[in-house]
Amino acid sequence: MTARGNLFIISAPSGAGKSSLLSAILKDKPADMQVSVSHTTRQPRNGENNGEHYHFVSVDEFKALIEQGAFFEWAEVFGNYYGTSRQVIEAKLAEGVDIFLDIDWQGAQQVKQMMPEAIGVFILPPSKAELERRLTGRGQDSAEVIAGRMAQATSEISHYNEYDFIIVNDDFEQAQVDLKAIIRSQRLTGASQIQAQNDMLKDLLAD
């Protein structure tokens, strides 16, 4: 029997390295792990494929899904809607796939209300100075935008105690080891192992 997959909520302030960590964990495209594919009403960008990067839907379709209670969490960002489909995630979890939700603390609260067993992981930078250095090093934002991101980071970090695990991304290789350890630990819980090793346990306990 295949054990049910785990739902991981991964949150972090911008620049903490959340996306890089997830990419490193999933670079070999393991069949039993994947990042959730969100629904959105924005138009696809060059190179984006429906069902791979996002599920692209119309505003009317999105609003209908909201009415149906189809989303774990959803939000409107700069005039476009984004949401995490409960049905899609439930189906993947039932197949034994671990799903990662790349969402902020507000989305995490919504998901936790609907699925309390979801595992929250918060990624922290080692210091404010390092966080600012990383944001500046991207070379993508103005000083004003970076200042705004730093202010927002303080607000986001204040919710660290709402998560089950905290990883300090100081050494990137160690942060990968830590995240992999969290994933592995959840697969070794009694409930998961009872599902996965059901036949073996019956054999071991047979007279």
pLDDT tens track for 55-85: 999 999 999 999 999 998 888 877 899 998 8
> For position 143, what pLDDT does the model report?
84
The enclosing H or E element of 99 equals strand 98-102
Structure tokens that stand for 102 in this block: 């790349």
24 Cβ neighbours under 8 A, 6+ residues apart: 172, 176
Torsions phi, psi of 133, nearest 5? Answer: -60, -40
SS3 label, residue 101: strand
Which CA distances in Å does 20 have to 51, 150, 156? Answer: 21, 19, 19
Which of 111 and 1 is assigned the larger pLDDT? 111
Q: CA angle at residue 104 from 130 to 15, to 5 degrees?
A: 20
Sheet with 33-35, strands from edge to edge, namely 33-35, 98-102, 7-11, 119-124, 165-168
Percent of the chain with pLDDT over 90: 66
pLDDT of 167 strictly over 70: yes
> For position 47, what pLDDT does the model report?
85
pTM metric for this prediction: 0.86
pLDDT tens track for 100-151: 998 889 889 989 998 999 999 999 999 999 999 988 887 777 888 888 889 8
Max Cα–Cα distance, the chain, nearest Å: 72
> For position 94, what pLDDT does the model report?
93
Q: What is the mean pLDDT of residues 5-16?
A: 94
Buried b (16+ CB within 10 A) or exposed e, 177-191: ebbeeebeebeeeee
Domain ranges within the chain, ordered by starting residue: 7-36+98-205
Alpha helices in the chain (DSSP H): 18-25, 59-67, 86-94, 105-114, 128-137, 143-157, 172-187, 190-196, 198-205
> For position 1, what pLDDT does the model report?
66
Q: What is the mean pLDDT of residues 174-190?
A: 95
> For position 186, what pLDDT does the model report?
94
CB 164 within 8 A of CB 111: no
Buried b (16+ CB within 10 A) or exposed e, 21-48: bbebbeeeeeeebebbbbbbbeeeeeee
SS3 label, residue 125: coil
Which of 140 and 15 is assigned the larger pLDDT? 15
According to CATH, the superfamily of the domain at 7-36+98-205 is P-loop containing nucleotide triphosphate hydrolases (3.40.50.300)
> For position 24, what pLDDT does the model report?
95
